[in-house]
């Protein structure tokens, strides 16, 4: 299925290197079938996530953003995910004020051995985003169109 | 209020020899709002003003004057910004002298200009009793002070400046005000997600990207190192499109999350009057609900995003 057919949406996944990226790999090695809407960006830790990564992704047209890291108390750097949890919970309140459906954003914890859990998360989240459909676009068109407008 | 002004002048006069500069308010160019005054010599003290037109938060000048002995005149809400700056160790308590005041509300010049339909530059304006008497090219009119107050005054929780070295006048409770105007946050809550998104597109379409909100914000202390101007990473690009302007506002809100005291300087400074404090208010509301924390009340506390608990009481994680 290609993006051009319009059946696929753009979901960005921010995954920590040590647990969730491994978990996604485990799901792949186990040959679990999963939806293909998710594009993964690997980060050293969920503590690396600036909430603005998520805002920038949405404003650049992502239809959903998923953050996944090590389970609490399992962080490779001891406490990164605890800080991330606070930041992401705070971010959760900003999205609806900006007009972005809060259900387009989720965060969760998946360990490297939990391939099955990873599949469940991806399936459920993708279904959730498909339920919401594509993210609303700016009425004034895209940034590219604005640039072309000034150039011509 | 006249004697309070005299007391303030006396206090400044007495403290001035030991200080490099005292920041206070003086009569502004338009009579509807007073303007900052930097006092370095005794003759300047006579220019000091204190009445509801002293709406600007002067705390924003403090980080730039670090290293000097500074005196500052502060209302209750301004003092919260000072507390926040002290908490973040951006200013030094021993270098600072706060002249604290009890405030009964500060006027919103834009609101008054709209109510009196006279524009910003009036011939004369004076406060008499509970009214502001304005003489402009459209004639004379009087506006009740209570109707012309800033939106933040309706949510005032502490009218007395704290921290404070010299308190001028008498302590008192916050003003009791009726008929608080509906906030943009309330209005947004009544809209659908798509309407909210369109609302911001319309609002941000008017933004001229002057960054006055950033310059006026007492907590925007990065100055020339603002992430909005960085090329690597390129957070915000130069395209004249609401998307980038909205991105900057989200950035401002998230960089002040858990720090913003809702002093309203961003909205006061905005030349096109955009409701840009709304996102910060939403974040503050969430921080209060999750961590029971309000910025600018205690300079000894650790900010909520600088710490964590293994078991967060108010965070409910989704079970997949």
Model pLDDT, residue B2: 56
Is A138 close to B201, i.e. CB distance below 8 A? Answer: yes
Per CB-CB distance under 8 Å, the chain A contacts of B287 are 90
State the best of A72, A89, A106, A135 to mutate against chain B, taking most chain B CBs within 10 Å: A89
| ipTM of the shown complex | 0.93
8-state DSSP, B231: S
The tens digit of pLDDT for each residue in A2-56 reads 444 568 999 999 999 999 999 999 999 999 999 999 999 999 999 999 999 999 9
Residue A147 pLDDT: 81
Q: In chain B, which residues have their Cβ closer than 8 Å to the Cβ of A89?
A: 286, 290, 312, 315
pLDDT at B258: 93
Q: Which of A98, A115, A116 to mutate to test the interface with B (most CBs of B within 10 A)?
A: A98
Nearest residue on chain A to B304, judged by CA atoms?
Answer: A86
> Exposed, middle or buried by CB within 10 Å (0-12, 13-18, 19+), for A40?
middle
Does any CB of chain A come closer than 8 Å to the CB of residue B236? Answer: no
pLDDT, tens digit, 9 for 90 and up, residues B149-206: 999 999 999 889 989 999 999 999 998 888 888 999 999 999 999 999 999 999 999 9
Beta carbons of A136 and B193 less than 8 Å apart: yes
All domains in chain A, ordered by first residue: 3-151 (3.40.50)
Cβ separation B278–A101 shorter than 8 A: no
- In chain A, whose CA is at the least distance from the CA of B227? A52
**If phi over 0 gives left and psi between -120 and 50 gives alpha, with beta otherwise, what is residue A98?**
alpha
DSSP conformation letters of chain A: --GGGT----EEEEEETTTHHHHHHHHHHTT----S-EEEEEES-GGG--HHHHHHHHHTT-SEEEEEEPPTT--TTSSHHHHHHHHHHHHHHHHHHHT--GGGEEEEE--TT-HHHHHHHHHHHHHHHHHH-SPPPPTT--HHHHHHHHH-
Of A86, A93, A117, the CB nearest to B308: A86
Distance (Å, whole) CA B77 – CA B170: 16
Q: Residue B138: its pLDDT value, please?
A: 84
Residue ranges of B 237-256 with Cβ closer than 8 A to chain A? 237, 239-244, 246-247, 250-251, 253-254
> Cβ of B312 and A85 within 8 Å?
yes
Torsion of CA B251, B262, B306, B214, to 10 degrees: 40
Ranges of residues in chain B with a pLDDT under 70 are 1-2
Cα–Cα distances (Å) from B277 to A53, A64, B116, B274, in that order, read 21, 26, 25, 9
pLDDT band (50, 70, 90) for residue A1? very low
Helices B242-255 and B193-206 cross at an angle (nearest 10°) of 100
pLDDT of B129: 82
DSSP B121: -
Give the mean pLDDT of A81-89.
97
Q: List CB contacts (< 8 A) between A58 and chain B.
A: none
- What residue of A is the nearest CA neighbor of B234? A56
Q: B196 and A120: CB-CB below 8 Å?
A: no
């Amino acid at each position: 299925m290609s993006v051009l057919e319009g059946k696929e949406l753009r979901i960005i996944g921010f995954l920590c290197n040590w647990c969730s990226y491994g978990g996604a790999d485990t799901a792949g090695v186990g040959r679990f079938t999963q939806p293909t809407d998710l594009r993964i960006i690997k980060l050293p830790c969920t503590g690396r996530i600036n909430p603005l990564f998520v805002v920038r992704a949405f404003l650049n047209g992502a239809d959903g953003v998923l953050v996944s890291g090590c389970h609490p108390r399992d962080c490779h750097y001891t406490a990164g995910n605890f800080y991330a949890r606070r930041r992401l919970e705070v971010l959760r309140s900003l999205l609806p004020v900006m007009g972005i459906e809060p259900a387009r954003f989720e965060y969760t914890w998946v360990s490297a051995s939990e391939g099955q859990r990873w599949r469940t998360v991806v399936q459920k989240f993708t279904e959730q985003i498909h339920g919401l459909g594509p993210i609303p676009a700016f009425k004034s068109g895209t940034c590219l169109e604005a640039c072309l407008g000034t150039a011509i | 209020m006249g004697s309070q002004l005299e007391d303030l002048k006396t206090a400044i006069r007495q403290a001035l020899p030991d200080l490099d500069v005292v920041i206070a308010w003086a009569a502004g160019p338009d009579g509807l709002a007073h303007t900052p005054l930097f006092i370095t010599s005794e003759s300047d003290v006579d220019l000091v003003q204190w009445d509801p037109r002293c709406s600007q938060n002067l705390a924003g000048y403090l980080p730039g004057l670090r290293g000097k002995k500074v005196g500052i005149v502060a209302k209750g809400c301004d003092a919260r910004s000072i507390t926040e700056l002290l908490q973040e160790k951006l200013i030094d308590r021993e270098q600072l002298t706060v002249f604290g005041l009890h405030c009964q509300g500060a006027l919103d010049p834009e609101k008054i200009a709209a109510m009196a339909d006279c524009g910003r530059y009036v011939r004369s304006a004076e406060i008499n009793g509970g009214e502001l008497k304005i003489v402009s090219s459209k004639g004379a009119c009087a506006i009740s002070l209570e109707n012309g107050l800033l939106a933040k005054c309706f949510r005032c929780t502490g009218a007395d400046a704290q921290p404070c070295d010299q308190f001028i006048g008498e302590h008192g409770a916050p003003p009791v005000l009726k008929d608080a105007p509906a906030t943009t946050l309330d209005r947004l809550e009544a809209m659908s997600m798509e309407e909210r998104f369109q609302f911001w597109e319309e609002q941000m379409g008017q933004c001229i990207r002057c960054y006055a909100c950033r310059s006026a914000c007492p907590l925007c202390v990065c100055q020339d190192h603002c992430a909005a101007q960085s090329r690597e990473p390129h957070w915000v690009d130069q395209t004249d499109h609401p998307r980038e302007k909205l991105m900057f506002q989200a950035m401002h809100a998230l960089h002040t999350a858990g720090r913003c005291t809702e002093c309203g300087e961003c909205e006061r400074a905005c030349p096109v009057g955009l409701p840009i404090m709304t996102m910060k208010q939403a974040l503050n509301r969430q921080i209060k609900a999750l961590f029971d924390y309000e910025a600018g009340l205690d300079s000894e506390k650790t900010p909520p995003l600088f710490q964590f608990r293994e078991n967060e009481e108010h965070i409910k994680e989704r079970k997949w």
